Each structure stands twice: as C-alpha cells, then as structure tokens.
Amino acid sequence: FLNLNPLALIPILVDGDFILAESLAIIMYLDDKYPQYPLLPHDVPKRALNFQVAHIVLQDNFIEKKVGPHEKLPWAQSVIRKGFTALEKLLKDHAGRYATGDEIFLVLAIHMTML
C-alpha cells in the first residue's frame, strides 16, 4: 500500500499505470475522464459550492499526532460538531432534495491513516 501512497492515506485510484491519491484529485480526474457520468455540476456556482462543502468536510478529518489516545474521541467530536454546524449554515439556502440541490454530486471518501 505504501508503494501506492507514501502518506498511507485512502482513497487511492489505480487506473492502469496511473495512480492517484486524495479525494478531490480523484473526483476531478474521474469527472474529466468520464464526462457522461458527471460527479460535479456544470453550473459554476453549484460546482464551487460543492468544492466548498468538500473542503469543510476534508479539512478537519486528520487527528493530529499531538492528540493522545484518550483525547481522540473528544477531539473528533468537537471537530465533527464544528464541521456540521458550518455545513448547516452554508447549505441552509441551497439544499433541495440533497445537500446542494436536487441532484447528487461530489461523493467524498474521508481520508484515513492506514498505519
């Protein structure tokens, strides 16, 4: 696994000889490679909104090495609470059937350390 991603994080995309890590990079790659199955809206403001949501979700999903084993749960709970509060505020005027409208876009895999 470390040969695929030296940072030991998931997700990883292997497409033939091409190896790509990081959720947003994978989404952009797949969206460009398979335009008939869009992962992102073509509407520029909705596309930007989806990237903003992705950034909020991804920015706080790393447990810093400074956090001890007994501090991980309280730290994770505070980060999740902060993230969901921000998302609710951001999406209150955009939500439809789904978070950013009536179509599903931008499914993210949360980064996790494998080691």
- Kindly report the number of other CB atoms within 10 A of residue 16's CB atom: 5
Amino acid sitting at position 89: K
Residue 16 and residue 13: Cα distance in Å, rounded? 10
Band of the pLDDT at 71, cuts 50, 70, 90?
confident
Band of the pLDDT at 11, cuts 50, 70, 90?
confident
Band of the pLDDT at 3, cuts 50, 70, 90?
confident
Q: Is the pTM of this model over 0.75?
A: no
Residue 113, classed as helix, strand or coil, is: strand
